[in-house]
Structure 1
Amino acid sequence: MYGKLVLVYDGERLLGEVELQHQGGGVWGEEIKEIRISHYSPPSERCPPLAVLHTINSTGICFKLESTAKNVDSPLSLLHATCLRDNKTAVAIIGEGEIHLVAMHSRKYEGQHPCFWGFNVASSLYNSCLALLNLRCLGIVFDLDETLIVANTMRSFEDRIDSLQRKINSESDPQRVSSMLAEVKRYQDDKNILKQYAESDQVIDNGKVIRSQSEVVLALSDNHQTIVRPLIRLQDRNIILTRINPLIRDTSVLVRLRPAWEDLKSYLTAKGRKRFEVFVCTMAERDYALEMWRLLDPESNLINPRDLLDRIVCVKSGSRKSLFNVFQDGNCHPKMALVIDDRLKVWDEKDQPRVHVVPAFAPYFAPQAEANNSIPVLCLARNVACNVRGGFFKEYDESLIQRISGVAFEDDTKDMPSPPDVSNYLFPEDDTSASIGNKDAIGFDGMADAEVERRLKEIPRENLLRLNQPLPDSHSFSSKSSSSEKLYQISQI
């Protein structure tokens, strides 16, 4: 195949002439009149650039470049040798994306003949994913409400109680009436606690007066202000009382944290080494979401405060969640991300295979559900994350990198193994929601406004009836779980 002749520059310095052969991967070769290198990617510690780009690029090679000069001392030869030696790419900006030039070995010339593959990727995506892959780290995206926490204001407590009382009045089954009365009682107890806090910044717990403690929330940017919130932490009850807007008492919130969150959190950053980069995607209002995450990660071990505004993504109610939107700054690739959510259908269809669906956290309807499970829900999520990470990097190291070392300039990406994808390691038995009818449940996504609590959407009770039943333990998993267990052991590295 013969291509067009194109000049290659490093900034303003001419490096030489190359023959460009268009391959159909995202940029039309006919549109390229010259290639001007603007910068170089960071040197890679352990990942060949070709393996990184094959993992994060879905369109294949844009074009191939081959030097028209055979001089081994030419500037293009020096560029080629430097990129091979340092495991880095030369980057040209074409349009809104980056073209990464990967130095390739040539089977035809059996030497350091200057030849390159060109890949088109979103700006900054390569550097972000290179850092993750070098650290053997993936992305993990959490939902908040009914996945990690349940939060209520006075208004939402009243809505829940009113709804249950209407159902009680029309219910003829004594057992269901008894169950709903017990649920109403649990709501009323927490509502009374919240009422005390909202009115006086203190609560009486077992005859003891507990006063709020001021917690300073530092400004996250120049457009934000430092906030001082009055908080009460009832550790024995797993309850936190906070106020989204400290000046408006109606924004007081009673928050219940899901059991075993600390176990999952400690796994993500075990021994000071990050196994996952953490993101949040929620349909809640931003100030509410930021405060809920602060309660979940008070030491900022999972998300650095300077990254919070980019890492916590709030989606408008009624819109679908999307990994493309979560990673719009090029900080991860969807194929390298696991989602933990209590609802599947709120995600774009292309992202749903990467979602591990957990049962909705329902401490008022099923207060013993978490305790009755032989494996707590978030501990199971931790195991799933561990298996996914282990499987991903086992395939990356033992299949992709091993085979990619033999790929030459004359080959094509179709000759390479398929890149790993998080969805390949989410096994059906990992989706515990299927056993409790949770996949399409509609839940509460926080406050739609900092001052006004939007009305809670009702979760169909039939979708939660089996929440008190324990999840299958690890011994009852199918044969595919045995492979999951092996991956769990592998990923403890």
Structure 2
Amino acid sequence: MLKSVVYYGEELLGEVEVYLQQQQQQRQEGGGEDGEDYYNNNNYHDDGNYKNNTYNNGRGKMIEDVVKERIKIGHFSQPSERCPPLAVLHTITSTGVCFKMESKSMENSPLSLLHSSCIRDNKTAIMPLGKEELHLVAMFSRNNDRQYPCFWGFSVQAGLYSSCLVMLNLRCLGIVFDLDETLIVANTMRSFEDRIEALQRKISADSDPQRISGMLAEVKRYQDDKSILKQYVENDQVVDNGKVIKIQSEVVPALSDNHQTVVRPLIRMQEKNIILTRINPQ
């Protein structure tokens, strides 16, 4: 267990006790102590049920060094309209819970108010960590006699949680422009051309103004998307409303020992909910 402090910007919110994930696993294996595990909505969540508890030592040491010094919240996530933040983070993290922390502060302390706000608004408190970000998820204590503010910490790639939340809140998947093969909903330059040609043939053979109007609008959407994809293919960047967006290399972990790690050149257009990538980058 570590002692640390939590800040929001430059404002000190209070002191906390931090239980690192590796220590938590050791306590579980050794029987643990009452009140050291937390659960949400009266359902206990053992992080081992979601992810393999093997944690990269280098990354774990980095998290330990950060939280030992102080936990500095920079901003908050947008509210989740459909899924609890805990469920979203358990799905997207590759390492499971990094740590669990608890405060012994009074009911109306800044940390208690932070905890209540996160629970009420279904949001997380975020600490930037370079290319990653640390999400603090408000939890309820397992011990009803000690209803102190409790949080679980997750480390995920910067922007990943926000991207997932956009799709969940809008109830739609992102469009994947795939140059090589179909993934979920994918298009290539050739598939755009084929769809545009097919629609134009239907338009020329149709006489209903309403159907023609709908097909013309669909052609326009395909042409706009094709233009974006063409920029990506030719320049490894796109221009959106005057803003140049360049590719970012993202590492995809190997599925097994028989597979190699793949580095994909990605462009994420958050506002358009579009992802540009090469499935088989060469």
TMscore range, shorter length? 0.5 to 0.7
Identify which of 18, 38, 43 aligns with 1:20: 18
d(CA) in 1 for partners of 2:230 and 2:175? 10
Q: Tell me the equivalent position of 1:39.
A: 75
Contact 1:8 1:37 in 2 (8 A): yes
Between the two proteins, what is the percent identity of the paired residues? 45
Q: Does 1:83 align with 2:118?
A: yes
d(CA) in 1 for partners of 2:135 and 2:99? 11
**For residues 284 and 64 of structure 1, do their structure 2 counterparts lie closer, same or farther at Cα, with a shift above 3 Å needed?**
same
- Equivalent residue of 2:74, what SS? strand
d(CA) in 1 for partners of 2:242 and 2:176? 14
Contact 2:21 2:97 in 1 (8 A): yes
The C-alpha deviation readout for 1:246-297, integer Å capped at 9, x for no partner, is xxxxxxxxxxxxxxxx98x96xx9xxxxxxxxx849984239x97xxxxxxx
**For residues 312 and 70 of structure 1, do their structure 2 counterparts lie closer, same or farther at Cα, with a shift above 3 Å needed?**
closer
Contact 2:9 2:72 in 1 (8 A): yes
Contact 1:124 1:331 in 2 (8 A): no
**For residues 236 and 36 of structure 1, do their structure 2 counterparts lie closer, same or farther at Cα, with a shift above 3 Å needed?**
closer
The C-alpha deviation readout for 1:276-319, integer Å capped at 9, x for no partner, is xxx849984239x97xxxxxxxxxxxxx9439954999xxxxxx
Q: Tell me the equivalent position of 1:7.
A: 5
Gapped regions of structure 2 (runs ≥ 5) = 23-54, 180-187, 204-213, 222-227, 249-261
**For residues 139 and 324 of structure 1, do their structure 2 counterparts lie closer, same or farther at Cα, with a shift above 3 Å needed?**
farther
Matched pairs, number: 202
Contact 1:139 1:338 in 2 (8 A): yes
Gapped regions of structure 1 (runs ≥ 5) = 151-233, 239-261, 270-278, 291-303, 314-321, 349-493
**For residues 79 and 139 of structure 1, do their structure 2 counterparts lie closer, same or farther at Cα, with a shift above 3 Å needed?**
same
d(CA) in 2 for partners of 1:115 and 1:78? 12
- Equivalent residue of 1:88, what SS? coil
Identify which of 148, 169, 191 aligns with 2:192: 148
Contact 2:93 2:156 in 1 (8 A): yes
Contact 1:41 1:88 in 2 (8 A): yes
Q: Does 1:49 align with 2:47?
A: no
Q: Tell me the equivalent position of 1:406.
A: none
Q: Tell me the equivalent position of 1:103.
A: 138
Q: Tell me the equivalent position of 1:113.
A: 148
Q: CA RMSD in A?
A: 4.6
Residue 235 of structure 2 aligns with an amino acid whose one-letter code is R
The C-alpha deviation readout for 1:321-361, integer Å capped at 9, x for no partner, is x785325x5959xxx999999xx7x359xxxxxxxxxxxxx
5 Å-filtered alignment, 1:389-408, equals none
Task: Show structure 1 runs of 4+ deviating over 6 A.
Answer: 336-341
**For residues 149 and 48 of structure 1, do their structure 2 counterparts lie closer, same or farther at Cα, with a shift above 3 Å needed?**
same
Instruction: Calculate the TM-score normalised by the size of structure 2.
Output: 0.57
Q: Tell me the equivalent position of 2:128.
A: 93
Residue 176 of structure 2 aligns with an amino acid whose one-letter code is V
- Equivalent residue of 1:17, what SS? strand
5 Å-filtered alignment, 1:46-445, equals 46-67=82-103, 69-109=104-144, 112-142=147-177, 143=179, 144-149=188-193, 235-236=200-201, 280=229, 284-286=233-235, 305-306=240-241, 310=245, 324-327=264-267, 331=270, 346-347=280-281
Contact 1:141 1:280 in 2 (8 A): no
Contact 1:129 1:331 in 2 (8 A): no
Higher fraction of strand: 2
Shift of 1:125: 2.1
**For residues 284 and 15 of structure 1, do their structure 2 counterparts lie closer, same or farther at Cα, with a shift above 3 Å needed?**
closer
Q: Tell me the equivalent position of 1:295.
A: none
Contact 2:14 2:105 in 1 (8 A): no
- Equivalent residue of 1:5, what SS? strand
- Equivalent residue of 1:148, what SS? helix
The C-alpha deviation readout for 1:409-448, integer Å capped at 9, x for no partner, is xxxxxxxxxxxxxxxxxxxxxxxxxxxxxxxxxxxxxxxx
- Equivalent residue of 1:149, what SS? helix
5 Å-filtered alignment, 1:460-479, equals none
d(CA) in 2 for partners of 1:99 and 1:125? 11
Shift of 1:146: 3.6
Residue 126 of structure 1 aligns with an amino acid whose one-letter code is Y
d(CA) in 1 for partners of 2:3 and 2:75? 22
Contact 1:62 1:120 in 2 (8 A): yes
d(CA) in 2 for partners of 1:12 and 1:43? 23
d(CA) in 2 for partners of 1:98 and 1:127? 11
**For residues 86 and 323 of structure 1, do their structure 2 counterparts lie closer, same or farther at Cα, with a shift above 3 Å needed?**
farther
d(CA) in 2 for partners of 1:76 and 1:280? 46
- Equivalent residue of 1:15, what SS? strand
**For residues 284 and 39 of structure 1, do their structure 2 counterparts lie closer, same or farther at Cα, with a shift above 3 Å needed?**
closer
d(CA) in 2 for partners of 1:311 and 1:30? 33
d(CA) in 2 for partners of 1:330 and 1:147? 21
d(CA) in 2 for partners of 1:94 and 1:18? 19
